[in-house]
C-alpha cells in the first residue's frame, strides 16, 4: 500500500462547479466586444472574415485609408445606398425596423434594415448569415458602438473592413484599385456609386464590368446623393 500523501487532495469539481465556470466563460466572451470597442477608436482593426481568410491561407487585400483621404462622392454614395439615416439614428434604425415589421406578411418575411453600425459590429465581432441569435447580439452592441465611437470613426471603419470583391478585397482602396485601377481618392461620383451598388453582394456584382441593372442602381444612387447634400453631415470634418 502506498503511503498517504502529506498534501491534501484538491477537491473534485462537481457538475455545479463546471457549470459555473462555463457560464463565466460565456459571459466573458459576450462582454469582450464591449471591452474592445473603446480600443477601436484608434488603429486599423480587421474583420473576423479577414482573420478567417488569413488563418486558412486565402488572399486578403486591404489598404487602410483614413476617412479624410476618402472623397465625399464615396461617403455620400455609400450612405444613400446602405444607410441614409446614418446621421439620425443611434446605431439601430428603429424607424426602418418598424417599416419592415409593418410590411412583413409573416416571420419569414421579416428583414430589418441593417445599419452601417450594425454591419461594423457584425464584421468586427460576429459572423455572416441571417439568424436571430446574431441579431440579438448585434443590436445592443450596435447601440454601444454608436455611443462609444464617433459617427466619423464608425464610417471610416466600415469603409475599410467591408468586403468589396470576390477574391479577398476589403475596404474602399482595394475596391477602387481592383475595379478602376486607381486610388479611392481619384474616382468620381459615378464610379463611387457603382462601388456602393456592389456592396450587398460583391461576389456577384462587379463594378469593373457592370451590367444594365447595376448601372441603373448606380444612377439611382448618384441622383439620391445629389438630392441629399446633408446625408453625410455628421461625418464631415468641422472647419
pLDDT score recorded for residue 107: 45
Residue 145 contacts residue 121 (beta carbons within 8 Å): yes
**What is the domain range of residue 101?**
28-227
Ramachandran class of 121: left when φ > 0, alpha when ψ lies in -120 to 50, beta otherwise: alpha
In a domain, 13, yes or no: no
Nearest to 219 by CA among 38, 80, 59, 65: 80
Whether 57 has a pLDDT exceeding 60, the answer reads yes
Q: What mean pLDDT do residues 104-129 have?
A: 76
What is the DSSP-derived secondary structure letter of residue 51? H
Compare 54 and 28 and report the one with higher pLDDT.
Answer: 54
Q: Is 22:131 a contact under the CB 8 Å cutoff?
A: no
Instruction: Kindly report the CATH number assigned to the domain that includes residue 55.
Output: 1.10.3810.10
Check residues 126 and 100 and name the one with the higher pLDDT: 126
Question: Considering the domain boundaries, does residue 148 fall inside one?
Answer: yes
Res. 2: pLDDT tops 80: no
pLDDT band at residue 238 using 50, 70 and 90 as cut-offs? low
The total number of structural domains in the chain stands at: 1
User: Is residue 173 classed exposed, middle or buried when 0-12, 13-18 and 19+ CB atoms within 10 A define those classes?
Assistant: buried
- Report yes or no on 14 lying in a domain: no
Model confidence, pTM: 0.87
Which pLDDT score, from 0 to 100, does residue 218 have? 96
User: pLDDT for 150-209, tens place per residue?
Assistant: 999 999 999 999 999 999 999 999 999 999 999 999 999 999 999 999 998 898 899 999
Q: Tell me which DSSP letter residue 169 carries.
A: B
Does 4 map to a domain?
Answer: no
Q: How confident is the model at residue 4 (pLDDT cuts 50, 70, 90)?
A: low
Asked if residue 135 has pLDDT above 90, the reply is no
Rounded to an integer, what distance in angstroms lies between the CA atom of residue 115 and that of residue 92?
6
Answer whether 67's CB lies under 8 Å from 75's CB: yes
Is 212 a domain residue? yes
What number of CA atoms fall less than 13 Å from residue 30's CA on the CB side? Answer: 13
Whether the CB-CB separation of 111 and 100 falls below 8 Å is answered with yes
CA atoms 116, 85, 93, 166: torsion sign: negative
Residue 10 lies in a domain: no
State the residue for C-alpha cell 461576389: 203
pLDDT band at 92 (very low <50, low <70, confident <90, very high): very high
Instruction: Give the integer Cα–Cα distance in Å for 88 and 103.
Output: 22
Share of the chain above pLDDT 70, in %: 87
- Residue at 102 is within a domain: yes
Decide if 140 is inside a domain.
yes
Average pLDDT over residues 36-40: 96
pLDDT at 91 over 80: yes
Amino acid at each position: 500500500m502506498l503511503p498517504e500523501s502529506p498534501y491534501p487532495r484538491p477537491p473534485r469539481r462537481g457538475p455545479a462547479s463546471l457549470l459555473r465556470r462555463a457560464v463565466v466563460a460565456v459571459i466573458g466572451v459576450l462582454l469582450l466586444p464591449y471591452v474592445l470597442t473603446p480600443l477601436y477608436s484608434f488603429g486599423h482593426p480587421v474583420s473576423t472574415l479577414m482573420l478567417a481568410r488569413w488563418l486558412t491561407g486565402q488572399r486578403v487585400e486591404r489598404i487602410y485609408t483614413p476617412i479624410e483621404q476618402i472623397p465625399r462622392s464615396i461617403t455620400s454614395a455609400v450612405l444613400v445606398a446602405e444607410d441614409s439615416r446614418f446621421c439620425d439614428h443611434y446605431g439601430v434604425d428603429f424607424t426602418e425596423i418598424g417599416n419592415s415589421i409593418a410590411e412583413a406578411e409573416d416571420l419569414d418575411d421579416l428583414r430589418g434594415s441593417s445599419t452601417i453600425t450594425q454591419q461594423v459590429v457584425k464584421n468586427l465581432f460576429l459572423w455572416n448569415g441571417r439568424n436571430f441569435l446574431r441579431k440579438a447580439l448585434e443590436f445592443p452592441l450596435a447601440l454601444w458602438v454608436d455611443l462609444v465611437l464617433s459617427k466619423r470613426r464608425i464610417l471610416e471603419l466600415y469603409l475599410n473592413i467591408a468586403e468589396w470583391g470576390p477574391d479577398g478585397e476589403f475596404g474602399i482602396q482595394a475596391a477602387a484599385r481592383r475595379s478602376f485601377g486607381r486610388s479611392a481618392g481619384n474616382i468620381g461620383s459615378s464610379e463611387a456609386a457603382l462601388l456602393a451598388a456592389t456592396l450587398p453582394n460583391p461576389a456577384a456584382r462587379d463594378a469593373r464590368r457592370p451590367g444594365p441593372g447595376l448601372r441603373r442602381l448606380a444612377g439611382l444612387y448618384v441622383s439620391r446623393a445629389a438630392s441629399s447634400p446633408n446625408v453625410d453631415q455628421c461625418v464631415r470634418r468641422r472647419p
